[in-house]
Copies of this chain bind each other. A is one copy, B any other.
Amino acid sequence: MAIAKVSIIPVGTGSPSLSQHIARAVKVLRQEKNLKYELTSMGTIIEGDVDSILSAIKRMHQAALSEGVMRVVTTIEIDDRQDKPSTMHSKVDSVMKRLQG
């Protein structure tokens, strides 16, 4: 299981507001049964296996490119840890414990 963050930036849309395009991309994730996700102000965090994550992000990217958007810059970070289970929750929790300790 890996954790990823994706941010999708449509270019040349004529308006500084991106929420309608982001929403169109995020809707793709609703159909993904084997992925968890969380919206943040700087992108969407996705938890699952790397294959499913990249496949979903490809569809998100394509969804953003539709409806008159001619250029999209998509940024992806994948954190893939094999030595022990790692989740969105456990990663934040580990740092929080260190901060309190």
A interface with B by C-beta (< 8 Å): 3-5, 7, 9-20, 22-23, 26-27, 38-43, 45, 50-51, 54, 57-58, 61-62, 65, 70-83, 87-89, 91-92, 94-99
A4 to chain B, nearest CB (A): 7
Q: Which 3 A-B pairs have the closest CB atoms?
A: A23-B98, A12-B16, A19-B94
- What is the copy number of this chain in the assembly? 4
**Chain B residues near A43 (CB, 8 Å)?**
5, 42, 77
Q: How far is the CB of A36 from chain B (nearest CB, A)?
A: 11
- In chain B, what residue has the closest Cβ to A97? B19
Q: Which of B20, B45, B71, B98 contacts A82 (CB 8 A)?
A: B71
Contact A22 B95 (CB under 8 A): yes
Known contacts A54-B54, A58-B50; A81/B16 CB under 8 A = yes
Known contacts A16-B11, A16-B71, A54-B58; is-contact A41 B3 (Cβ 8 Å): yes
